[in-house]
Amino acid sequence: MGISLKDVAERAGVSVKTVSNVVNGYRHVTPATRQRVQQVIDELGYRPNLTARHLRKGRTGIIALALPELGNPYFAELADAVISYAAGLDYIVLLDHTNGRRDQEILFAQGFRARLIDGLILSPIELENEDLLARGNDAPLVLLGEREYEAPHDHIAIDNVAAGRTATRHLLDMGRRRVAFLGARHGRARRTAHLRLRGWRAAIAESPDAAGGDELVATTDGYARGDGAQAMARLLDSGAAPDAVFCYNDLIAIGAMRTLTERGLRVPEDVAVVGFDDIDDGRYCSTSLTTVAPHKQAIARAAVDALLARLDGGAEAAQSEPRHIRPGFALIRRESTLGRP
């Protein structure tokens, strides 16, 4: 049989209520009493009944995280950050994926698994404003990613235009003048690829001697390594002859570097490469990858905190204006632009 609050209270010589106050972090306990109770908790190995605690609040203690791709290292690393942070707040994360399909994203946004969860963190790709405005589920929803929405939900996203400009500026500052962009997409102008491409164009426009024609923009069908390898091959075959490449993400950059090596070109001597996401793979490539690093831990904290703030604030919080939170990013300089030390 497990250790109970009563067991702790008897050993510490205090009331059950006092033990409960210590466990729940209430302030109205003297430091000496808190220390004594905590010592007994540690000695006995008491663990709170989190299920009962959440049920008393009318909750399940579970939040959902729906991502477009679990096979993409960026999303895997982000999921790990969300799960770890939520665990520290006594919440379990139910992880699912949408495959970036609008029908699946609508399913989650409209309340799929609603009876199992207290709220949803969703990273949409194809979801539209009308899908969110038609949402009939009252459970809190927090959006991740750089697509812009005019919907009444908190939104966590880095500034992709600024990040794209920073990456391109780094290459230009190193004397590169034919900087290509790999990973452009056709379609809606608010997609993440368009925002990063806008940053690329802004940096090019600030450098009068830099080439910035459409021949240096390569589209991809997806965002995997193979897409980057194929786009780089098409760019070289077209005669565009870039001396640097800013890639939509690290996977595209890794594929592009593979093609460059196969064509006998050196990275960074002949073509410098910058990626985006700072996934672990990029650190351990034969030529380590310079990349834009979104602050994944900050994104995870902001998303979970925003969701729980809506839950804890009751009806007033649910009706308050949506917040647009911009976690930071950093440019991580490595061998693909700096060369080997």
Q: Where are the domains of the chain?
A: 5-44, 57-158+296-327, 160-294
Looking at 3.10.20.340, 3.40.50.2300, 3.40.710.10, 3.30.1280.10, the CATH number of the domain 160-294 comes to: 3.40.50.2300
Q: Which tokens in the block code for residue 174?
A: 């190193």
Q: What are phi and psi of 166, to 5 degrees?
A: -60, -45
Task: Order the strands of the 244-247 sheet from edge to edge.
Answer: 217-219, 179-184, 244-247, 272-276, 290-294, 329-332
Place of tokens 């010592």: 39
Cα(218)–Cα(178) distance, rounded to whole angstroms? Answer: 13
pLDDT (tens digit, 0 to 9) for every residue of the chain, 341 residues total?
A: 567 778 888 888 888 888 777 776 666 788 888 888 888 888 887 776 555 554 555 567 899 999 998 889 999 999 999 999 998 888 899 999 898 888 998 888 887 777 788 899 999 988 888 888 777 667 789 999 877 777 788 999 999 999 999 999 999 999 999 999 999 987 664 578 899 999 999 999 999 899 988 999 999 988 999 999 999 999 999 999 999 999 999 999 999 999 999 999 999 999 999 999 999 999 999 999 999 999 999 999 999 999 999 888 755 555 678 889 999 999 999 999 999 88
220 secondary structure, DSSP code: -
Contact by Cβ (8 Å): 79, 279: no
**Domains 57-158+296-327 and 160-294 belong to one CATH topology:** yes
Task: Identify the pLDDT of residue 89.
Answer: 85
Cα(89)–Cα(303) distance, rounded to whole angstroms? Answer: 13
Task: Identify the pLDDT of residue 189.
Answer: 47
Q: Where are the alpha helices (DSSP H) in 121-191?
A: 129-133, 160-173
